[in-house]
Structure 1
């Protein structure tokens, strides 16, 4: 299966996302923000970074990049799309996901190994997890606080659209400890922490339970490959 990873000006983790796709057994395809061609890929990853220097709002300018016209249309047809950190911000700016991301409530950039709980294991990007499973993957953001008005937040919770929730500590003030959400259809998922940094044994978080396995992020990429062949 061919998974496209889009590079924007200021992307930092596009190569890491490509490596994560390959680690899961997929074929990573490099895509460029200025093109109008998805090259027939079967899924798309919007990677982390600081697209366009996070001017205006993080992800705001990138959400209007030429290739995002194709991404929005493809997502609305059901193509799996994953947004990681800055990519999550793009997806909310493009209105493919509910809510938005703002500056961390403590006003500082945060970088830590973060515990998460898998809240929805029925999406194209989470099906390889058990619902309720706790995982540890790296988190690094300055504008990671998830927000939504009360009505939207009630809908997100009521319809099971929370994909991941922070466990142990809320690192950025996100409402309801929300770390990732999905759309109604389950093909579009945004996550603030970085699963692509936890896909290889011996790298990523070091926990007593995992014994330096560092592969808690790999099931995200395995999930979409499984979904594409199902």
Structure 2
């Protein structure tokens, strides 16, 4: 199975995401922000970093990249799409996911290993986990506070679309401790922590993040 990883000007974690796909057993395909097609991939990852220098606001320019027109159409057609950190911000800017990510409530960049609870194990990107399972994933962001109006938050909770939640500590002021969400169909997921940095015991806090990538591959194989 081929999983495309988009590189924008300012992407930092694209090669890490490609490596995670490879370790999970998939074939990573490099996609460029100026591409006008997805080169036959079965899923897409929008990686972390600072696309277009985070000018205007995080993800605001990346949403207009030529490749994003293809990603949006594919996502609406059911293709699995994952947004990590800056990728999550881009998904919100494209309205594939609701809400927004704003400056951390303590106004400083944070980098730590963060415990998450898997709230929904039925999405395209979480089926390798059990509901309620706690995983340890690196977190690094300056604009990671998830916000939305009360009605949207209630809808996300009621529809089971809160996918990951921060445990023990809320690192950035995200409302209701939300670390990741999905769309209604469950094929589009965005999360602020970085699972691509937790795919093997040699590097990072362990391999708890590998399940994100094996989940997509299992779903595609099925």
TM-score normalised by the chain length of structure 1: 0.96
Report the Cα distance in structure 2 between the residues aligned to 1:229 and 1:181, rounded to whole angstroms.
23
Report the Cα distance in structure 2 between the residues aligned to 1:81 and 1:60, rounded to whole angstroms.
18
Runs of 4+ in 1 over 2 A off after TM superposition: none
Question: 2:57 aligns to what?
Answer: 57
Is 1:224 aligned to residue 216 of structure 2? yes
Question: 1:166 aligns to what?
Answer: 166
Question: 2:115 aligns to what?
Answer: 115
Unaligned stretches of 5+ residues in structure 2: none
Question: 2:19 aligns to what?
Answer: 19
Q: For residue 37 of structure 1, report the CA deviation from its aligned partner.
A: 1.2
Report the Cα distance in structure 2 between the residues aligned to 1:194 and 1:116, rounded to whole angstroms.
11
Question: 1:7 aligns to what?
Answer: 7
Report the Cα distance in structure 1 between the residues aligned to 2:200 and 2:147, rounded to whole angstroms.
32
> How many residue pairs are counted as aligned between the two chains?
222
Question: 1:73 aligns to what?
Answer: 73
1:30-45 counterparts in 2 under 5 A? 30-45=30-45
Question: 2:195 aligns to what?
Answer: 195
Report the Cα distance in structure 2 between the residues aligned to 1:5 and 1:190, rounded to whole angstroms.
14
- The superposition leaves residues 79-108 of structure 1 with CA deviations (integer Å, 9 ceiling, x where unpaired) of 000000000000000000111100000000
Unaligned stretches of 5+ residues in structure 1: 206-213
Q: For residue 70 of structure 1, report the CA deviation from its aligned partner.
A: 0.3
Q: Which is further off, 84-93 or 196-205?
A: 196-205
TM-score normalised by the chain length of structure 2: 0.99
